[in-house]
Amino acid sequence: MVKVSDLRMREVINIADGRRMGPIKDIDIDLEQGRISAIILPGQGNRLLGLFGREEEIVVPWHKIKKIGLDVILIDLRDVTDVRPEGGFPANGKERYF
């Protein structure tokens, strides 16, 4: 069994391009089923020193997680299409996942 706090300590790597995505910022939990539905990563936004605009988040559905290792979490984001503003939804008002 893995604790959420343990997951947050691991580096997330996209196996599609080998890019480091950073640590897990947050998680989405499906309370009805009692399981994690997605992990949320910090976005790769174009903010200037974090001074302007809101930070974006990358929502990675659980099925995109390929392997959870001792030090890293491997995800596959080959079909990356959208990110959402921190704590919110894309401008079109609809949640989209990778």
CATH number for the domain spanning 21: value is: 2.30.30.240
The predicted-structure confidence for 59-92, as pLDDT tens digits, reads as follows: 999 999 999 999 999 999 987 554 555 555 444 4
Domain annotation covers residue 17: yes
Domain annotation covers residue 51: yes
Range of the domain at 35: 4-85
The alpha carbon of residue 78 and the mean position of all alpha carbons in its chain are separated, in whole angstroms, by 14
pTM, two decimals, is 0.70
User: Which H helix or E strand runs over 5?
Assistant: helix 4-7
Mean pLDDT of 17-25: 91
Domain annotation covers residue 90: no
Domain annotation covers residue 97: no
Domain annotation covers residue 21: yes
The total domain count for the chain is: 1
Domain annotation covers residue 42: yes
Q: Judge contact between 25 and 40, C-beta under 8 A.
A: yes
Q: What are phi and psi of 40, to 5 degrees?
A: -120, 125
